Amino acid sequence: MRPFNFTKVTTVKDGITKKEDTGQYIAGGTNLLDLMKKHIAQPEMLVDITTISSSIKPLKTGVQIGAMVRNSTLTLDNEILTKYPLIAKAILAGASPQIRNMASTGGNLLQRTRCVYFYDVDMPCNKREPGSGCSALHGNNRMSAIVGWSEDCVAVHPSDLCIALVALDASVKVVEKNQKERIIPFKDFHRLPGNTPHQDNNLPANAIITAIEVPVNPFNKHYAYLKLRDRDSYAFALVSVAAALHLENNRIVDARLASGGVAHKPWRWSDAENFLKGKEANTANFQEAARIAAEQTKPLEGNAFKVPMLKGAIEVALQNCLTA
Amino acid sequence: MEFFDNELSTLMPAEGRVEAIAKVTGKGKYAAEYTVPGVCYAVLVTSSIPAGTIKAIQVDKAKRATGVIDILYHQNKPVVPGFADETKIRESRVGLPVFYTDKIYFKGQPIALVVAESLEEATYAASLITADYTAEVFNVDFVKTHPSIPLKAAGKERGTVDEWSNAIHIVEAEYTIKEEVHNPMEMHATIAEWVGDNKVKLYEKTQGVNSVQRVISGLFSIPRENVEVISEFVGGGFGSGLRVWSNTLMAVMASLQVKRPVKLMLTRPQMFSLVGYRPESWQKIKLGADSSGKFSGMIHQAKHTTSVFENFNENITRIARLVYDFKNLKTESAIVPLNLGTPTWMRGPGDCTGDFAIESAIDELSYKLNEDPIALRLKNIALKNDPESGKPWSTHFIDECLEQGATKINWKNRKQTPGQVTEGDWQIGYGMAIGMWTSGRTQASASIVLDKSGTIIVRTAMTDIGTGTGTAMQNLAHESLGMPKNKIKVELGNSNLPPAPSQGGSTGLASLGGAVMDAATLLKQKLATYAAAINAQYKDAAAADILLSENGISYKQANAQFISYADLWKKVDEPTIEAEATSAPGEERQQFAFCSSAAHFCIVRVHSKTGKVKVDRMVCVADGGKIINEKPAANQVSGAAVGGIGMALMEEQQADVKFGSLLGNDLAGYHFAVNADAPIIEVSFIDKPDPNINQMGSKGLGEVGIIGCAAAIANAIYNATGKRLRNLPITPDKVLLG
Amino acid sequence: MNEQTLSRRFFLKVSGAFVALAAVPSTVHAFYQDVKSFLVPPKETLPTTLTINKQPYKVTADTRSTLLDLLREELQLTGTKKGCDHGQCGACTVHVDGQRVLSCLTLTAMLPGKTVTTIEGLADGEKLHPMQQAFIECDGFQCGYCTPGQIMSAVACVNEGHTKSVAEIKEFMSGNLCRCGAYNGIVEAIQKVAK
């Protein structure tokens, strides 16, 4: 790691004031320290914000999760478990108990890709070094995107939590450099790579994420999170699916379908959701929804398997919603 | 530091390992953990290209970083006599003459070593070093390259191919296995300290202290006894610790250069290119059988990678010549040099790879013949004689392994037609395969010391990499001497102790055990001599009749009276009584062939829509001769089976063919089995002594636990789905598209 | 049993180069003579007060220092192991304020006022913690290198109540890799303590 100056703050205001442009905020540190050790991130100062906003507040309109709430806390909180259980389910599919004890909710949104080329500073990567090229596009892209990618970047977002949050129409509360608060809809928080893949998201420079808000929803009975990976635990997704159904007498009133491991951002399968609305919850309709989702994909040379895997995962996840 | 936390050993429950308390309390010291005053830290800088020549290295910036003491590279290094010229380098057999070449052979090759006051400082300074290269053409593409490398005979052909070319049943197929990496949990590490003129002390992660001693003394032209190597706790090896690699040399060089003790621990990514790996391989099998299911012949061809600067051949086709009774057998192999680090022996080297292809082909044949795969194997296994040498097997109980395993897993519930059993979207199948390994034994020494307090110390230079060598030594000493286990201490993993071979190839205990037992006999003879001066009846006592207890010795025959250690020491001038013995294989090797074997059975579930494979049950029955410590032995076999699950389903290290870089070379990118991937592995032993191999009747176990596992799983996947998957690892994508 | 030979062709090509290089003088003094001035940031330190295994510690650490390196390199508490240094193996698991975390991804600078427990602080004097005892009895290790991390994680796993089935134990212990594959004994030990 590059030598750096270290400051701890207890308020958002202080954090924003003290952080210089060459610095970075640190919360759980589970990704940032990893990147610093590899000299991919080289901040000149770290501002420790671990003690800002770490509570889970029920609101009339939903729930507000403080940015510093630890991932594992979310899996134990009664409010989350009863009203937003998909969130807990997604978190438990990711990382390890130790990392979940450390990682913050806000930090989870800011995880950088796990694309192997991003992590090797000797190989070109537009995300790490804009303009250097994308090594994965025609290289080893087994883990890469199958939707929403560009010639400049085929990396995928690694989070599980974010897949649940995008499915539940969450929003991100941030405080900007000018100390003004702003709400960013979750689906607009992360970006597609386009020709600026070095920008993972639309968080303004020097802004702090203070909370995630999840609106009240009817998806606490029929939900599932299915994650497919190369081993049974402690691995990033090949494909993951967050599925949730609002059912009335086996008729689908509303549906949510989102995926990880497929795109540069947490991906919603809106067409498949729309298809399911008003339909009966049965295998045939689940298969059709999966087909509709898969139709939107455009796999790369090395990850064509992700398409049948995605179809299978959507079918199984929807099926699991009925038994959950 | 007192090594195996001996003061606490009386607290240890009888079933625990001798070093258990040191391990569960964190007190046991692994190589990088010794406190050495004045130690400084070394961090490697590695090449950013896979082939070429270093034009210049820019170290100026790094020199300015806080704490930097020195930077070693090809233009700033101490004299290493063993690298003085081309011939000497070749003779040293260390492979990479680190810092004594400006050539780059693979990406990740060490080009500089920063030595600094702290680890943080050394790590940062290392990141500031850059190099200019003249890049050269490179190749890391095994798949594209191997077809152009011609095969050569590997061993003498048995019979002819013509004799069975018209066999009624023929299976012909190709198999591939991606590169696998040992990745012991402890990264390779050294603390090197020159403790005097021409004298160096190493705390080293290795599987063999005497081998490190030999290599370092040779390279630095100093007497062997001037190199002390300490490896009391070793955090796994699986073969990566059998060679002396560049990291050890660099630590020794750095310590010589800065005249201080130097600690060098590789990073995890460096573990993927600098300390070996199981090479990527291709195999082709052609297997023929007559209508009765008797094998009529086999052609086994294999190729695997090596580096461009060393020829490593792991002999994949060797196992073709070992297990089945082939009258006609042709084995051929080739190695494919690529710009990668040199591969090395990894758990079940060669055989593990070859076995996957052969056992998969036999399984395929069994379906063609519509015959139970166990019955087919039993019909063809060379149960009486080693088919290669013709010598009778001393003992060989693979038939019993098969029988027991089949019963345990309820093999009778298996359906002969694949794809018959489903549970929702899951398809369920049974699979099995066998593994074998020649039971080697080499010369090893041990000593046993009795002190005045009535404590026994058993000593050897051999390391215990987690196999339970120390515990076995304690058990053997206990059985031979009669002394309670809590009065028997063990000292090992130090080159000052009686010499022993490296721990590898399942030879550790088989080699060492005899020496411990011989030393026990010698010690008892010595004691009898001393005792005879006190009580004449001891005069004729055979060693076997002497028993040691906490307080003294007794003579089983003639009710000879007990002699306390206090009385005994009145007749002994020395502070301790010591006996050392060396044991080695002998004539029995002329008469017999020796082998260990195992039968592996499993039940897998395969998800038809997502390609997920789950091993539900895994049963391993092994013949390792007499089992000295049941728990550690079972642990070793179940652990090997976990390795087998990894090999079958997930382990794979890839390189980018355009850039020559390893991809995802860390523990997030390279998957081996986590706890959730493995079922509770069910292990049992035949536990019959081999009367000829050594005094204990023990054969090795370390390799047979893994050899055969991957094929058993692949065969079960076929039984579940009807998909014959011949390329490891069988990740979900291969199942889906298969 | 196996062959290992040196391929000649490459070293013959390099011989000229390294013979010449061997003559370069290499004293530390000479090494520093031509140092040019670069802007290299100096190291920064920070005083931190924390409790480790019930002992108060005041350390002035490099801001870059992780808890793992602090324990192993500064405080000689080497029971906590380094297996990857990147949060990918669990060998460095310790408890901070009673929760299992990875010390390799924890900066010392972030620990003021925190309470750390390492494997060295688990036993009560000479009396082993029940989990340590269970690991011995169930032979929940081979080489022992991942063991302190496994035990710290196992203690937390029991405290968290994730022990209702073998599958649950396995899932909640999957953040601790064991290359020896001693998972049988690890699960058995946890079951034993959870009873």
Q: Give the mean pLDDT of B501-517.
A: 84
CB pairs under 8 A between B and C: 304
Give the strand order in the sheet containing B456-459: B488-491, B456-459, B444-451, B576-583
Report CB contact under 8 Å: B675, C183.
Answer: yes
**Pick among A31, A309, A316, A320 to test the B interface (most B CBs inside 10 A):** A309
* pLDDT, position B695: 86
Each residue's pLDDT tens digit, A175-196: 999 999 999 999 999 999 999 9
Supply φ then ψ for residue A15, to 5 degrees.
-60, -45
Answer yes or no: are the C-beta atoms of B256 and B230 closer than 8 Å. no
In the CATH hierarchy, which top-level class contains the domain B441-584? alpha beta
Q: B274 falls in which pLDDT band (50, 70, 90)?
A: very high
pLDDT at B15: 66
What per-residue confidence (pLDDT) applies to C173? 98
Asked: is A5-50 a CATH 3.30.43.10 domain? The reply is: yes
Q: In the predicted model, is pLDDT for residue B307 greater than 80?
A: yes
Q: Which helix (H) or strand (E) holds B248?
A: helix B246-258
At B511 the pLDDT is 86
Cβ within 8 Å of A, C 21-60? 41-44, 46
Dihedral sign (CA B494, B497, B500, B503)? negative
Domain boundaries, chain B: 34-137+185-236+241-272, 281-440+590-737, 441-584
- The whole-angstrom separation of Cα B64 and Cα C35 is 8
Q: What is the pLDDT of residue C20?
A: 37
Q: Report the C-alpha gap between B30 and B300 in whole angstroms.
A: 42
User: Tell me: the pLDDT tens digits for B325-355?
Assistant: 999 999 999 999 999 999 999 999 999 999 9
All residues at 6 or more sequence positions from B568 whose CB lies less than 8 Å from its CB, including other chains:
B527, B530, B531, B534, B552, B553
- Count of residues making up chain B: 738
Pick the range with the lowest mean pLDDT from A260-264, B108-112, B542-546, C37-41. C37-41
Structure tokens at B282: 């291709």
Residues 6+ apart with CB under 8 A from A232: B614, B674, B676, B677, C171, C174
Contacts of A180 (CB under 8 A, 6+ apart): none
Please determine, for residue B29, whether its predicted confidence score (pLDDT) is greater than 60: yes
B79-92 residue pLDDT tens:
999 999 999 998 88
Q: Is the fold of B281-440+590-737 the same as that of B441-584?
A: yes
**Residues of chain C contacting residue A97, judged by C-beta atoms under 8 Å apart:** 100, 153, 156-157, 160, 162, 172, 175
Residues 6+ apart with CB under 8 A from B163: B296, B297, B327, B328
Mean pLDDT of B396-412: 98
pLDDT in the model for residue C29: 42
| pLDDT above 60 (res C34) | no
Pair type for strands C115-117 and C93-96: antiparallel
**CATH number for domain B281-440+590-737, candidates 3.60.20.30, 3.30.1130.10, 1.20.140.10, 3.30.365.10:** 3.30.365.10
Report how far residue B385's alpha carbon sits from residue B408's, in angstroms, rounded to the nearest whole number: 28
CA-nearest residue to B183 within chain C is: C179
Could you tell me which of B212, B195, B207, B218 has the C-alpha nearest to residue B82?
A: B218
Contact status, residue B179 vs residue B652, Cβ threshold 8 Å = yes
Per-residue pLDDT reduced to its tens digit, B687-697: 999 999 988 89
CA-closest candidate to residue B20, choices A98, C189, C103:
C189
**Residue of B652 and B539 predicted with greater confidence:** B652
ipTM: 0.97
Q: Where are the beta strands (DSSP E) in C34-178?
A: 45-52, 55-62, 93-96, 99-102, 115-117
Candidates B635, B198, B104; CA nearest to C144 is: B635
Q: Please list, residue by residue across B261-290, b when 16 or more beta carbons sit within 10 angstroms of its beta carbon and e when fewer do.
A: bbbbbbbbbbbbbbbbbbbbbbbbbbbbbe
The topology (CATH level 3) of A226-323 is Enolase-like; domain 1 (3.30.390)
* pLDDT higher than threshold 80 for residue B6: no
CB–CB of B288/B330 below 8 Å?
no
Q: For position B14, what pLDDT does the model report? A: 56
**C6 burial level (CB within 10 Å; 0-12, 13-18, 19+):** middle
Q: B663 and A232: CB-CB below 8 Å?
A: no
More confident residue, C8 or B659: B659
In chain C, what are the domains?
A: 130-194 (1.10.150.120)
The predicted-structure confidence for C80-105, as pLDDT tens digits, reads as follows: 999 999 999 999 999 999 999 999 99
Residue whose token pair is 């949050």? A165
What pLDDT is stored for residue B558 in this prediction? Answer: 57
- Please tell me which chains touch B, using 3 or more CB pairs under 8 Å as the contact test: A, C
Please provide the average confidence, as pLDDT, over all residues in chain A: 97
Which residues are paired to B310 by β-bridges? C6
**CA-closest candidate to residue B674, choices A234, C158, A239, C141:** A234
Dihedrals phi, psi of B380, to nearest 5 degrees: -120, -10
pLDDT class for C21, splitting at 50, 70, 90? Answer: very low
CA distance A263 to C134: 45
Helices (H), chain A: 12-18, 32-37, 71-74, 78-83, 85-92, 97-102, 105-109, 116-119, 161-167, 186-189, 270-276, 283-295, 306-323
pLDDT for res B195 = 96
Given an 8 Å threshold on Cβ–Cβ distance, is A305 in contact with B736? yes
**Residues forming a β-bridge with B53:** B103, B134
CA gap A269, A241 in Å, rounded? 10
Least confident among A86-95, B529-538, C163-172: B529-538
pLDDT given for residue B561 in this prediction: 80
pLDDT in tens, A289-298: 999 999 999 9
For Cα atoms B216, B218, B224, give the angle at the middle one, nearest 5 degrees. 75
Min distance B169 CA to chain C CA atoms (Å): 33
Specify the CATH architecture of the domain B34-137+185-236+241-272.
Alpha-Beta Complex (3.90)
Q: Is the pLDDT of residue C39 over 90?
A: no
CB contact (8 A) between residue C181 and residue B29: no
Tokens representing B566 are 């206090």
Does the pLDDT value for residue C17 go beyond 60? no
Judged by CB atoms closer than 8 Å, whether chains meet at C31 and B70 is answered as yes
Query: Chain A residue with minimal CA distance to C85?
Result: A34
Question: Apex CA A138: angle with CA A135 and CA A141, to 5°?
Answer: 80
Say yes or no for a CB contact (<8 Å) between A232 and B614: yes
Give the confidence band of B143 by pLDDT, cuts at 50, 70, 90: very high
Q: Which of B452-456, B510-514, B589-593, C110-114 has the lowest mean pLDDT?
A: B510-514
Q: What six digits make up the tokens of C24? A: 């370069």
Angle in degrees, 0-180, between the axes of helices B469-481 and B508-532, rounded to the nearest 10: 30
Cα separation, C44 vs C63, whole angstroms: 6
- β-pairing, B444-451 vs B52-58, is unpaired
**DSSP letter at B279?**
P
Name the residue with tokens 């308020």.
A11
pLDDT value at residue A53: 86
The full set of domain ranges for chain A reads 5-50, 226-323
Contact A123 B654 (CB under 8 A): no
Work out the minimum CA distance from A244 to partner chain C, whole angstroms. 24
Paired strand residues for A7: A47
C18 pLDDT higher than 80: no
- Cis omega before residue B575 (within 30°)? no
Q: What is the mean pLDDT of chain B?
A: 94
Mutate to test the interface with B, among A113, A140, A231 (most CBs of B within 10 A): A231
Q: Give Cα separations from B703 to A212, B346, B406, B408, B700 (angstroms).
A: 52, 9, 21, 22, 8
Q: Rounded CA gap, B552 and A271, in Å?
A: 86
Q: Cα–Cα distances in Å, from B455 out to B11, B493, B513, B568?
A: 16, 20, 20, 14
What's the confidence (pLDDT) of residue B197? 87
Integer Cα distance of B541 and B558 in angstroms: 10
Q: Which residue has the tokens 């502070």?
A: B575
Q: Which chains touch A (3 or more CB pairs under 8 A)?
A: B, C
Give pLDDT, residue C172.
Answer: 98
As a whole number, mean pLDDT of residues A148-159 equals 98
Interface of A with B (CB under 8 A): 1-3, 37, 39, 114, 116-117, 119-120, 122-123, 135, 138-140, 142, 226, 228, 230-236, 238, 304-306, 308-309, 311-313, 315-316
Rg (Cα) of chain C, in Å, rounded?
Answer: 23
CA distance B58 to B132: 8
Following CA atoms C93, C94, C97, C101 in sequence, which dihedral angle do they give, to the nearest 10 degrees? -10
Of the two residues B350 and C17, the one the predictor is more confident about is B350
